[in-house]
Amino acid sequence: MPDRDRDEFGKARNRRPRDALGRPLPYGSEGVERIPDDLQLSAAESLDYAQQLLDRGLAFHAHEVLEAAWKNAPDVERTMWQGLAQLAVGITHIQRGNPVGAATVLQRAADRLENSDRASTHGVDVAGLVDHARRLIDDLTHHADIGAARLAPRLRAEAQSG
């Protein structure tokens, strides 16, 4: 059995470099900067960082930031953060050319966000993101072209971001 990359606690960690879409590259390849496994940011910092990554076309990496926020969030916010992370994964599948996987994960994201507190926690535009996910699913179902701008949805209402 091949040796696995492990952290200082013995937990399996894939240390291979990754491309911009999060796919593993061979050891020794030059990939994009990885998101630290132990990332801990405030909610506002997580949203800002994830938005910057989405805006740069790095949805997989935005997912990792949002997943860290989900794991560190208070229980009452976890459904929202998980939905945001799933939204970024759905977008990653679109970028990778996997429309079936994208639609499946985007449906989970929309459902999860819809079941979260629809109030605007941390300024997150929950209702707008649910609508955005559902429009993407509809376009995927109808084989419509989805431009890059639609793969960087605004996570927070414009009036509250900044």
The model's pTM is 0.86
Do 52 and 93 reside in the same domain of the chain?
Answer: yes
> pLDDT per residue over 24-41, tens digit each?
888 888 888 888 878 899
Do 55 and 16 reside in the same domain of the chain?
Answer: no
| CB within 8 Å of 122: residues ≥ 6 apart | 43, 44, 47, 77, 156
pLDDT tier at 15, thresholds 50, 70, 90: confident
Do 79 and 152 reside in the same domain of the chain?
Answer: yes
Closest CA to 78 of 66, 94, 88, 89: 66
- The token duo for 104 is 């499946």
Number of domains in the chain: 2
Which residues span the domain enclosing 18? Answer: 1-34
Do 16 and 78 reside in the same domain of the chain?
Answer: no
> pLDDT per residue over 89-108, tens digit each?
999 999 999 999 999 999 99
Do 94 and 137 reside in the same domain of the chain?
Answer: yes
